[in-house]
Amino acid sequence: MGRQPCCEKIGIKKGPWTAEEDQKLVTFLLSHGHCCWRLVPKLAGLLRCGKSCRLRWTNYLRPDLKRGLLSEEEEALVIDLHAQLGNRWSKIAARLPGRTDNEIKNHWNTHIKKKLKKMGIDPVTHGPLAPATQPLALALAQQRDPPQVVREEERCDDDPSKQASSQGLAAVADEDDDVEETPASAAQPHGATTTSPASAAAGSVSPSCSSSASGADADADAAAWPGPIDLFLEVDGIMDMDWAGILSGCGDDDAADISGVDLFDHYAGDGFDEQVWM
């Protein structure tokens, strides 16, 4: 009757990923892409379930991911988007190139929630906290740093209908799924602080074989980033390209052949550093 488990539980490894597993997965996905996550672990020679592979890839291994804490601008944008979308982390993440839903969710729960509470703002409703706690919280907020985030939220609190127009996000509020219609530069107010050029192509650099890079912005950032990472930005759909040519030594039809290839060895000589990437 019930659903089949997403994978056979027996023999499936759980817990933290090892560097070797990461390498196998990255190598496999970069050379083959994924058509069916269920098959990925088998073909890549991993004792993981497909779900786990997908999660690892999307949350940690994707080359277009930014690492590190969210900037002030990103935080403000998250708060703004959360006010509009609620806990739709994937939708929020879609507006933050290079950030994952998991990362944003974690950051929200650990940092932003507290910040808002300190400021007397209910992180759920984005309205004022209950009267009993508000005075203390407000006092705290005034004593400490009440930067633009406060102003951001005050605007939201005053009139939720204004939220949509704030920061040029009207389109965001109107339509959930039209990411392409929102220019990356508009949804990313921190172009100057972009930590990874690959992030410029975030959303377009996806293993799901369907997206296309949006040219000009990506190119501009790519120009500032020497090395093979440029390839991510120049190709319409990372998985459509012939990765075998880049990852020399990777067989196209035999996963076992590629498992021994060190992806990062290829990049090391060209300014693409595993440590930086990670």
Partner DNA sequence: AACATGGTCAACCGCAGTCGC
Partner DNA sequence: TGCGACTGCGGTTGACCATGT
Closest approach of Cβ 2 to DNA, in Å? 8
Spatial neighbors of 97 by CB under 8 A, at least 6 apart, are: 64, 66, 184, 187, 188, 199, 200, 201, 202, 203
Tally of CB atoms within 10 A around 173: 18
Which of 75, 103, 153, 221: binder of DNA (CB under 7 A)? 103
| Residues between 11 and 70 that touch DNA (CB under 7 A) | 13-17, 34, 36-38, 48, 50-52, 54-56, 59-60, 69
> How many positions of this chain bind DNA (CB under 7 A)?
38
Give the residue with the Cβ less far from DNA, 60 or 246.
Answer: 60
- What CA–CA distance (Å, rounded) separates 55 from 34? 13
88 interacts with DNA by CB under 7 A: yes
**Would you say the C-alpha torsion 257, 259, 263, 269 has a positive or negative sign?**
negative
Give the residue with the Cβ less far from DNA, 38 or 266.
Answer: 38
Give the residue with the Cβ less far from DNA, 69 or 139.
Answer: 69
Give the DSSP H or E segment for 265: helix 263-268
Give the residue with the Cβ less far from DNA, 4 or 143.
Answer: 4
Stretch that binds DNA, among 9-17, 159-167, 213-221, 263-271 (CB under 7 A): 9-17
Tally of CB atoms within 10 A around 80: 25
Spatial neighbors of 205 by CB under 8 A, at least 6 apart, are: 62, 63, 64, 198, 211, 213, 232, 233, 238
Contact 34, 208 (CB under 8 A): yes
Stretch that binds DNA, among 98-106, 151-159, 212-220, 240-248 (CB under 7 A): 98-106
101 interacts with DNA by CB under 7 A: yes
List residues near DNA by CB under 7 A. Answer: 3-4, 6, 13-17, 34, 36-38, 48, 50-52, 54-56, 59-60, 69, 87-91, 101-103, 105-107, 109-111, 114, 208
